[in-house]
Amino acid sequence: MTAVRRSIGNFRIADIQRECPGVSLDLIRQVLKTMRKEHRVECLGRGQNAEWRRTGRWEGELGTTQ
């Protein structure tokens, strides 16, 4: 997801919603769940204001240098 790749530091689902206004909340959650299973992101809390962050695995698999 491009919005996750562009994020600097931690992010919240609300941040992704602002970046992708046409994408449903359910789809964002589904994508993050898949990415978490792949160890590309990790959730740092619970609830509506939980923060997420990319892991080192995200960087290597996509070939980005950010």
Provide the CATH number for the domain around residue 22.
1.10.10.10
Give pLDDT tens digits for 34-51: 999 999 999 999 988 999
**Domain-located, residue 7:** yes
Mean pLDDT over all residues of the chain?
A: 84
Residue 20: inside a domain: yes
Predicted pLDDT at 2? 79
Number of domains making up the chain: 1
Distance CA 46, CA 22 (A): 24
Question: How confident is the model at residue 8, as a pLDDT?
Answer: 79
Under the phi-then-psi rule, with left for phi > 0, alpha for psi from -120 to 50, and beta for the rest, what region is 53? beta
Give residue 4's pLDDT.
Answer: 79
Query: In which residue ranges of the chain is pLDDT below 70?
Result: 1, 58-66
- Does residue 65 sit within a domain? no
Contact yes or no for 13/29 (Cβ under 8 A): yes
Put residue 2 in one of left, alpha, beta given phi > 0 → left and psi -120 to 50 → alpha: alpha
d(CA 60, CA 45): 25
Q: What is the pLDDT of residue 46?
A: 93
Domain-located, residue 50: yes
Q: Which domain holds residue 27?
A: 2-60
